[in-house]
Amino acid sequence: MSMLKATLPSLAFLRSRWLGCPLALMLTSTWALAQDKRWGPGEAASDYGYRFHDLFWLITILVSVAFALVVILLAIPVLRDRERPGHRASFDHGKSLHDKRLTAVISIVIFIILDAWVLVIAMQDLREAHWALPDAEDPQTYRVEVLAQQWAWNFRAPGVDGEFGTADDIITINELVVPKDRPVSFNMSSKDVIHALFLPEMRMKMDVNPGSINKTWFRPITAGDFTILCAELCGFAHYQMSGKLRVLEQGLFNEWEAEASKLASTAFDADDTEAQWAWDWEK
């Protein structure tokens, strides 16, 4: 029993030191994100992508600060009231009026700074960007119909004639080619289950539901090859449902579109009903 009493103060001291582990982990993670872009969300490649990038870092900073404050508030009574030579451990259940007021103030501050502030910014970004669908009648708008299935992305562009359901429609699987600096508008549906079209570099993600047409858009500002993913668990081969997004300068895109439309017209087979899945564009 005497040995147990002798070890209790040292164990209490060790427990107090353990409180620093979560804070150290948080600081280390923040430093890693700042040092290496591979650990962060990467640079946005669409014109409204910066909004989600800024919101991501705002939430990360606010949550990190709130976490650090909570750790400090927990560490103070643990260190102050722990058992140590000449001091007996003391504790209460936090039922005093002072404790209740402190809890209420902290909760209100966190709600206003974290929840309400982030909600206002997020709703503004949605209204000004994500929900601001481009005019489908604008010739600058590049329209794409998307038909998702287990486990592939079917893309259909109208070709040089600008009409869906014609012989020169450009149909691709798991690869989408779009022009740079022009709005790309999607009409999307699914053949089977719920999928989600996710273009991480474009900061664009939208569910794709069977029996309905969902709409979304983005405007690429960087040429190159990017990732297409499915962000909804859609079956055992969900992990294989990926593809490539190619963004071309307008001149190169015009050449590609003309050649792709020509090849599509040559290969068109009116009896291939499986390929005739186009629908009238929904504005």
Asked if pLDDT for residue 41 goes beyond 80, the answer is: no
Identify the band that residue 59 occupies on the pLDDT scale cut at 50, 70 and 90.
confident
Count of domains forming the chain: 2
Domain-ending residue, one of 83, 98, 130: 130
Domain assignment present for residue 281? The answer is no
**What proportion of the chain, given as a percentage, has pLDDT over 90?**
42
| More reliable by pLDDT, 30 or 204 | 204
Nearest to 263 by CA among 186, 178, 157: 157
**What proportion of the chain, given as a percentage, has pLDDT over 70?**
85
Residues 225 and 178 in one domain: yes
The boundaries of the domain holding residue 35 are: 2-130
pLDDT digits (tens, 9 = 90+) for 133-191: 999 889 999 999 999 999 999 999 998 988 998 999 999 999 999 999 999 999 999 99
What pLDDT was estimated at residue 258?
A: 93
Asked if pLDDT for residue 3 goes beyond 80, the answer is: no
What pLDDT was estimated at residue 131?
A: 87
- Output 267-275 pairs: Cβ under 8 A, ≥24 positions apart: 268/167, 268/168, 275/171
What pLDDT was estimated at residue 14?
A: 47
Domain-ending residue, one of 110, 130, 150: 130
Residues 203 and 102 in one domain: no
Structure token pair of residue 102: 């402190």
Q: What is the CATH number of the domain that holds 151?
A: 2.60.40.420
Residues 147 and 266 in one domain: yes
Residues 56 and 76 in one domain: yes
What pLDDT was estimated at residue 187?
A: 95
Domain-ending residue, one of 90, 106, 130: 130
Domain assignment present for residue 51? The answer is yes
Report in angstroms the alpha-carbon separations of 221 from 10, 21, 132, 156, 189: 59, 42, 17, 22, 26
Backbone angles phi, psi at 166, to 5 degrees: -115, 175
Asked if pLDDT for residue 69 goes beyond 90, the answer is: no
Asked if pLDDT for residue 42 goes beyond 90, the answer is: no
Residues 208 and 87 in one domain: no
Residues 150 and 221 in one domain: yes
Domain assignment present for residue 280? The answer is no
Identify the band that residue 29 occupies on the pLDDT scale cut at 50, 70 and 90.
low
Asked if pLDDT for residue 54 goes beyond 60, the answer is: yes
Residue-averaged pLDDT of the chain: 84
Residues 180 and 265 in one domain: yes
Residues 125 and 67 in one domain: yes
Residues 263 and 236 in one domain: yes
| More reliable by pLDDT, 135 or 17 | 135
Identify the band that residue 39 occupies on the pLDDT scale cut at 50, 70 and 90.
low
Look up residue 113 and give its DSSP letter.
I
- Quick count: other Cβ atoms within 10 Å of Cβ 203? 25
What residue spans of the chain are helical by DSSP H?
2-18, 20-35, 49-81, 97-110, 117-125, 250-267
Identify the band that residue 13 occupies on the pLDDT scale cut at 50, 70 and 90.
very low
Domain assignment present for residue 136? The answer is no
Identify the band that residue 17 occupies on the pLDDT scale cut at 50, 70 and 90.
low
Cα(99)–Cα(81) distance, integer angstroms: 16
Residues 86 and 182 in one domain: no
Residues 195 and 94 in one domain: no
pLDDT digits (tens, 9 = 90+) for 179-206: 999 999 999 999 999 999 999 999 999 9
What pLDDT was estimated at residue 8?
A: 44
Identify the band that residue 55 occupies on the pLDDT scale cut at 50, 70 and 90.
confident
Identify the band that residue 109 occupies on the pLDDT scale cut at 50, 70 and 90.
confident
Asked if pLDDT for residue 274 goes beyond 90, the answer is: no
Identify the band that residue 261 occupies on the pLDDT scale cut at 50, 70 and 90.
very high
